[in-house]
Amino acid sequence: MSVKVSMKVNGQPVSAELESRTLLVTFIREHLRLTGTHVGCDTAQCGACTVLMNGKAIKSCSIVAMQAEGADILTIEGVAKPDGTLHPMQAAFKENHGLQCGFCTPGMVMNALDFAKSHPNPTDQEVREALEGNLCRCTGYHNIVKSIVAGARAMAAAK
Amino acid sequence: MEHSLIGKRIQRKEDYRFLTGAGQYTDDVELPKQTFAAFVRSPHAHARLKSVNVEKAKKAPGVLAVYTGQDLADAKVGGLPCGWLITDVKGQPMKEPPYPVLAQGKVRHVGERVAVVIAETLEQARDAAERVEVDYEVLPAVVDAATAGRKPGIHEIAPDNTCYVWALGDKAAVDAAFSKASHVTTLEFVNNRLVPNAIEPRSANAAYSRADDGYTLYVANQNPHVERLLMTAFVLGLPESKVRVVAPDVGGGFGSKIYLYPEDHAVTWAAKKLNRPVKWTAERSESFLSDAHGRDHVTRAELALDKDGKFLAMRVKTTANLGAYLSTFASCIPTILYATLLAGQYTTPAIYCEVTAVFTNTAPVDAYRGAGRPEATYVVERLVETAAREMKMDPAELRRKNFIRQFPYQTPVALLYDTGDYEATLKAAQDLADVSNYEKRRAESLKRGKLRGLGYACYIEACGIAPSNIAGALGARAGLFEAGEIRVHPTGTVTVFTGSHAHGQGHETTFAQVVADRLGLPIEKVEVVHGDTSKILFGMGTYGSRSIAVGGTAIVKALDKVIAKGRKIAAHLLEAGEQDIEYENGTFKVAGTDRQKSFAEVAFAAYVPHNYPLDKLEPGLNENAFYDPTNFTFPAGSYVCEVEVDKETGATQIASFVAVDDFGKIINPMIVEGQVHGGLAQGIGQALTECTRYDSDGQLLTGSFSDYAIPRATDVPSFGLDTRETPCTHNPLGVKGCGEAGAIGAPAAVMNAITDALGVKDLAMPATSHTVWKKLQEKNHARV
């Protein structure tokens, strides 16, 4: 069965006829060709597919696209400024070597953006607990934690 | 050099694309007229294929083709070769059973590929795969490595399931030393099987063009030239010149993406049959079932000591589980990369190791971060720590008493260590870990109801496996050199082509630092290209922490040629003798004068050779080099782990973890620290959380991230790192490699700490809360 879905992605209105079972992540990757959102597992554990839906971090593999009908979706491609300047959270990941292979990175950044809104000056432990749903196999999390602490502070300072 | 870039924390060139979603991983590549593949996989660990009926699947919507093992056999597609021939104790070659792309007559592990369905969309391919009807005659499964030798053979060629029995060392000398020992420490343990789990699942996307009869394979792989060589020569029988392999951005490897995998070959073969690109990307559940796993040893290890604690001899007997088929480098991991490391950092004069490698109905096992060296370090460092406790000696002092202190040092297990300073790293680790105040911390933990323990591990590893001729004599079927090319452009910018492959290691930055430093150019003028056989002249790829030591040296050798030619050009331009030209900070100078030409001016003259010695010199400034090392490099270090165990629940937390490593010269400390962090987390994962379980029927019980616990952020601490430096003596950068150290040293350090906390001799990895709690109960009952 096909359904029509419409939503905003990175500020742009988009709509498509999709099979009703199409996952939001499939819509983002395969239909919109926004391939920065990744798929790292099939059990909603790894968090590589994390995007913001109406400002909240969600795993885009765990809802179907039509559940996002009318929503405002932000993917990693929409985070930097239009001129390409990195968002403070992205910059913090670069400055603190918070990424290696880059595969989990978009999900980490998207989760961190949501987390930082309510944690302008987080402790390491708060960050580690907030990363419950995001797996990284490269960094041992050490520098991701540093990045998110620095990024959250930079976001708060920029307000 | 005034402004050396070596040792600088330069931020990574590759980060911008990864942080903005612009990375291009294999699954991100979408080709015109793309089709999608889904594999039908065996649900049984061991079964005869009575029939494979694909008719219903072929008629399903969108399906373009369904292929089975019979189709590949008819097309004379070969099996996957093994890259290392081990010769057994009787001088016989190891048993090499066929490893088909799609099952031929039998399946030998859950997840083995029986058929491939190709359709217009991924959903259609997956839906149709459900309609392939396979009639299996289920056979008893061989799962347990320790008893596999007594079970019916799963391969005709190996009726006792034994691939080889191999040994290294002087058995008579070891037995004699044991007979004189005043103390013998014995341990029996399992080095637990691990699933590598790079977060990017494996993926392959192959295209074929009738226009030039050429193939292009995009694949998540650590060594695209090796993949191409083995694929063309052994499996598909194609000219290498007709196959381009591209390993674009790759989302972690840890060894698991070194190998040839059947899926890569199936989609490449099918791309020509269909004359359309065919893409397959693993679901995580497929990764668990079909990626090569790591470790999986059952070992009995003994250490003989004299009354003063001097090591006299070591005797090790290991059964290594190779899984159902010989993966690409499976055979050399529990042998060449394991037994040779059993001297560790110590002067143990006699060592004997015997390894029985067996086939079982489980996923193939191959190199995983550390590859043999974590297993060896676990043997040595658990033995040493246990011996110290049994002999009531300080574990650090026992190590000191036995450290190798003079270099070069020839071990009794074939390696020649070029340099090291084990005392320096141990002392630094003890200082950083504040070991002198440990008792205070232990008492404080106890007040909170927590058992605290401290464990050391002093590891050594052999990186940059080499040289090719010796490796060849030991059975390697590939070279172990690396290639690099420096292409200087007419305006003086530089592109570096390396046969190394980065999948998180940051080569685009580290190699650019090396090149910019040597040429005296701003790093922005240097770009690094890797991962595409159509661009790179050749490459053996990245594994075994070899990239900087082998790949980096190839680049340096090519740079030397560039500078040598530049001096000739500059001598002509400056009307001076070549011997008077010096190169410094990006400038060719006539020694002792102010006459000079910049690097860019010399480059321009090479490509616009109007004023140029054309009679003596070719135009252009483009040099390449192949480098085959004379020896391994030997990174080493000392790790100190403290744990806290909850007496009531068995929950174990890493209270602190200190790692002091000697990687020789370090190019970018920020990147090196990142490598150590990641390795430590994987090592801690092996010790605390990662458990691969097959049931007695060969069903994988831990086949998802819900069941198999790779460490989450709350499972690991922030790490305390430091380095000491003894430069490698046989490469021009003095570098040793850093990619695997953490995973090699951490498991023994953690388990030494936990056994210390519990006051027990041994405990199985992973030390989950349940395992620890059970051990505490046993101990408490024993006391009553």
- B388-434 residue pLDDT tens: 999 999 999 999 999 999 999 999 999 999 999 999 999 999 999 99
**CB nearest B252 (choices: A76, A124, A138):** A138
Q: By C-alpha distance, which of B287, B297, B266 is closest to B363?
A: B287
Mean pLDDT of chain A, nearest integer: 97
Q: Specify which residues B639 forms β-bridges with.
A: B457, B659
The reply to whether A39 touches chain B by the CB within 8 Å rule is yes
Beta strand A2-9 pairing with A12-19: antiparallel
Q: Which chain B residues are closer than 8 Å to A141 by Cβ? A: 677, 681, 711-713, 716
CA dist., res. A44 & res. A41, Å (int): 7
CA dist., res. B162 & res. B743, Å (int): 28
First to last CA, chain A: 46
Q: Is the pLDDT of residue A91 over 70?
A: yes
Whole-model pTM over 0.95: yes
Domains and CATH numbers, chain B: 17-139+201-251+257-290 (3.90.1170.50), 297-465+631-783 (3.30.365.10), 481-627 (3.30.365.10)
The residue of chain A with its CA nearest to that of B248 is A101
Judging by beta carbons within 10 Å of its beta carbon (0-12, 13-18, 19+), is residue B424 exposed, middle or buried?
A: middle
B284:A144 CB<8 A: no
What is the per-residue burial (b if ≥16 Cβ within 10 Å, else e) of A142-153? bbbbbbbbbbbb
Supply B352's token pair: 């004997």
Q: Which fold has domain A2-78?
A: Ubiquitin-like (UB roll) (3.10.20)
CA dist., res. B441 & res. A33, Å (int): 54
Q: Which chain A residues are closer than 8 Å to B680 by Cβ? A: 140
Cα within 13 Å of Cα(B655), Cβ side: 22
Judging by beta carbons within 10 Å of its beta carbon (0-12, 13-18, 19+), is residue A45 exposed, middle or buried?
A: buried
Number of A–B residue contacts, CB under 8 Å: 180
Q: Do domains A2-78 and A88-158 have the same CATH topology?
A: no
Q: What is the pLDDT of residue B466?
A: 85
CA dist., res. B356 & res. B145, Å (int): 10
B15:A129 CB<8 A: no
B201 DSSP 8-state letter: P
The ipTM of this complex is 0.98
Could you check whether the bond before residue B93 is cis, i.e. omega within 30 degrees of 0? no
pLDDT digits 0-9 by tens, B261-302: 999 999 999 999 999 999 999 999 999 999 999 999 999 999
Q: What is the pLDDT of residue B153?
A: 96
The length of chain A, given as a count of residues:
159
Instruction: Report whether B515 contacts B486 (CB < 8 A).
Output: yes
Domain boundaries, chain A: 2-78, 88-158
B12:A94 CB<8 A: yes
The Cα diameter of chain B in Å comes to: 95
The reply to whether A27 touches chain B by the CB within 8 Å rule is no
Task: Return phi, psi of residue B330, to 5°.
Answer: -55, -40
CA dist., res. B409 & res. B632, Å (int): 13
Residue/partner pairs of B448-452 with CB below 8 Å, 24 or more apart: B449/B646, B449/B647, B449/B648, B450/B644, B450/B645, B450/B646, B450/B647, B451/B644, B451/B645, B451/B647, B451/B757, B451/B758, B452/B642, B452/B643, B452/B644, B452/B645, B452/B655, B452/B757
A138:B712 CB<8 A: no
Q: By C-alpha distance, which of A2, A62, A51 is closest to A28?
A: A51
CA distances from B198 to A25, A103, A139, B449 (A): 20, 9, 12, 37
Q: Coil, helix or strand for B16?
A: helix
Q: What is the pLDDT of residue B781?
A: 84
B201:A36 CB<8 A: no
Q: By C-alpha distance, which of A157, A153, A29 is closest to A92?
A: A153
Supply B211's token pair: 């226009």
- Separation in Å, CA of A151 to nearest CA in chain B: 13
Q: Specify which residues B138 forms β-bridges with.
A: B47
Which of 281-300 (B) contact A at CB < 8 A? Answer: 281, 283-285
Q: Which chain B residues are closer than 8 Å to A95 by Cβ? A: 11
The reply to whether A49 touches chain B by the CB within 8 Å rule is no
Instruction: Report whether B113 contacts B275 (CB < 8 A).
Output: no
A76:B20 CB<8 A: yes
CA dist., res. B488 & res. B466, Å (int): 30
CA dist., res. B505 & res. B201, Å (int): 18
CA dist., res. B80 & res. B260, Å (int): 7
Q: What is the pLDDT of residue A132?
A: 96
Dihedral (CA of B670, B671, B672, B674) sign:
positive
- Separation in Å, CA of A122 to nearest CA in chain B: 15
- Separation in Å, CA of A39 to nearest CA in chain B: 8
Q: What is the pLDDT of residue B780?
A: 84
The reply to whether A83 touches chain B by the CB within 8 Å rule is no
Which of 223-282 (B) contact A at CB < 8 A? Answer: 249-252, 254, 281
Q: What is the DSSP string of A36-47?
A: TS----SSS-S-
Which of 119-158 (A) contact B at CB < 8 A? Answer: 124, 127-129, 131-132, 134-145
The CA R_g of chain B, rounded to the nearest whole Å, is: 27
Q: What is the DSSP string of chain A?
A: -EEEEEEEETTEEEEEEEETT-BHHHIIIIIS--TTS----SSS-S-TTEEEETTEEEETTSSBGGGGTT-EEE-GGGTS-TTSPPPHHHHHHHHTT--SS-SSHHHHHHHHHHHHHH-SS--HHHHHHHGGG---SSSTTHHHHHHHHHHHHHHHHH-
Q: Which chain A residues are closer than 8 Å to B681 by Cβ? A: 137, 139-141
In chain B, which stretches have pLDDT less than 50? 1
- Separation in Å, CA of A47 to nearest CA in chain B: 10
Q: What is the pLDDT of residue B1?
A: 45
Helix, strand, coil shares, percent, chain B, to 5: 30, 25, 45
Instruction: Report whether B656 contacts B441 (CB < 8 A).
Output: no
CA dist., res. B302 & res. B550, Å (int): 35
Instruction: Report whether B655 contacts B643 (CB < 8 A).
Output: yes
Average pLDDT score over residue span A110-123: 98
Q: What is the DSSP string of B693-760?
A: -B-TT--BS--STTTS-PPPGGGS---EEEE-----SSSTT-B---SSHHHHHHHHHHHHHHHHHHT-
- Separation in Å, CA of B28 to nearest CA in chain A: 6
**CB nearest A48 (choices: B199, B506, B716):** B199
Instruction: Report whether B218 contacts B29 (CB < 8 A).
Output: yes
- Separation in Å, CA of B681 to nearest CA in chain A: 5
Beta strand B63-68 pairing with B35-41: unpaired
- Separation in Å, CA of A124 to nearest CA in chain B: 9
Architecture of the domain spanning A88-158: Orthogonal Bundle (1.10)
Q: Coil, helix or strand for B610?
A: coil
Tell how many helices (H) and how many strands (E) occur in chain B.
Answer: 19, 28
Q: Coil, helix or strand for B632?
A: coil
CA dist., res. B75 & res. B237, Å (int): 11
CA dist., res. B404 & res. B425, Å (int): 13
Q: Which chain A residues are closer than 8 Å to B25 by Cβ? A: 35, 38, 103
B82 DSSP 8-state letter: P
Q: Coil, helix or strand for B767?
A: coil
Which of 21-60 (B) contact A at CB < 8 A? Answer: 21-25, 27-28, 30
- Separation in Å, CA of B103 to nearest CA in chain A: 25
A42:B284 CB<8 A: yes
CA distances from B279 to B28, B41, B215 (A): 10, 17, 13
Torsion, Cα of A80, A81, A84, A88 (10° steps): -50
Dihedral (CA of B386, B390, B392, B393) sign:
negative
CA B350 to chain centre: 28
B25:A103 CB<8 A: yes
Cα angle vertex B665, ends B662, B667, to 5°? 120
- Separation in Å, CA of B705 to nearest CA in chain A: 6
What are the helix (H) ranges across B89-212?
122-129, 171-180
CA distances from B413 to B156, B299, B333, B348, B636 (A): 34, 18, 15, 10, 17
CA A91 to chain centre: 15
